[in-house]
Amino acid sequence: MEQFRFFVESLQMQRVNNNVRNIENFPYTSCGVVPIWLWGWESTRRTVLLDLPVKIVVIQHTVSPPCYTDHTCESNLKSIRDYHINHLNFTDIGQSFFIGSNGKVYEGAGWKHVGAHTRGYNDKAIACLSKFLVICGISDLCKQECPTIVSRKEWDGLKPVHVRYLPRPVDLVIIQHTVTPTCATDDGCAEIVRNIQAYQMDNLNFWDIGQSFLIGGNGKVYEGPGWLHAGAHTYGYNSKSIGIAFIGNFNKDQPTTQALNAAKALIKCGVDLGHLASNYHVVGHRQLIATESPGRKLYNEIRSWPDWMEDVSSIKN
């Protein structure tokens, strides 16, 4: 009940918070909410926007067994989403948010979009499925801005052959470079990411693109295995780290300010969402294996970051 009371109070704050009026800019996947593109492999298909603030919260349940692990909760959500789309002919999963017995909140239609949960109330209410509960509305504590993350659907990526789940939170972020041309445009960056995925899957027999995230010179983050799944970026460390690769060769190129800021924002977002431990460390690829990655110029940049770990003897395999 205490969590529900806080949720309702948070929703009421929408009416008095004059600093958050543009819903397009609202960081609705903050406050520990697992966004739909992370658990569902694609962003919501819903396009009709809610008229905020809403005054009604509808509490529901799934009439299904509870889930106590990330894997089980995400698997259940995918089944619900598939049923809603393919059997009920919904545009996408109906409820606004879900809360698993693992204590995590999962985005459905979210704050922005009209869902399909309660006939006659879809356009004026937020619905939470219990076994599922949102504990955060709009408040000053929830204004962490996550960088723009381009989903694999948006960069036209292939689906992974297999996935392996990361035990989260992880406490290690490995910075790398792709040793490819740099990119400054959305189309150019997406093409490079597609080429990297094709090479790694076709020539190296990877299950998916190896890097957890890739960052373009345009300041956008491109989704790989993401926060939830183990990548294939650093042998011996894939199951206990997040690999962030800057697109380019930073032995000769200088990373853009936009790319550096996007990486810092992504890492902060990972902590805010509970995917990274609060005591995480950042290291360069070269500190763990024999490689020049992330390149001298990028390595020189990350060495000045406050979370950089100089002595890796305690974590090195």
Domains and CATH numbers, the chain: 2-142 (3.40.80.10), 149-302 (3.40.80.10)
In tens digits, the chain (317 residues) has pLDDT values of 333 333 333 443 333 333 333 333 333 344 568 888 888 877 778 889 888 788 888 888 887 778 878 888 888 899 899 989 998 889 999 998 888 877 788 889 988 889 999 988 888 888 766 433 333 433 333 344 578 789 999 999 999 999 999 988 999 999 999 999 999 999 999 999 999 999 999 999 999 999 999 999 999 999 999 998 999 999 999 999 999 999 999 999 999 999 999 999 999 989 988 899 999 999 999 999 999 999 999 999 999 999 999 999 999 98
pLDDT of 317 reads: 86
State the pairing for strand pair 213-215/221-223: antiparallel
Nearest to 286 by CA among 294, 274, 278: 294
DSSP symbols for the chain: -HHHHHHHHHHHGGGT-TT---GGG--TT-TTEE-HHHHSSS-----PBP-SSP-EEEEEE-SS----SHHHHHHHHHHHHHHHHHTS--SS---SEEE-TTS-EEESSTTTB--SSSTTTTTSEEEEEES------S-GGG-PPPPPEE-TTTTTPPPPS---B--SSEEEEEEEE--S----SHHHHHHHHHHHHHHHHHTS--SS-SSSEEE-TTS-EEESSTTTB--SSSTTTGGG-EEEEESS-TTTSPPPHHHHHHHHHHHHHHHHTTSEEEEEEEEEGGGTSSS-TT-HHHHHHHTTSTTB-S--TTT--
Q: Degrees (nearest 5) of the Cα angle 51, 105, 151?
A: 75
pLDDT of 194 reads: 98
pLDDT of 8 reads: 39
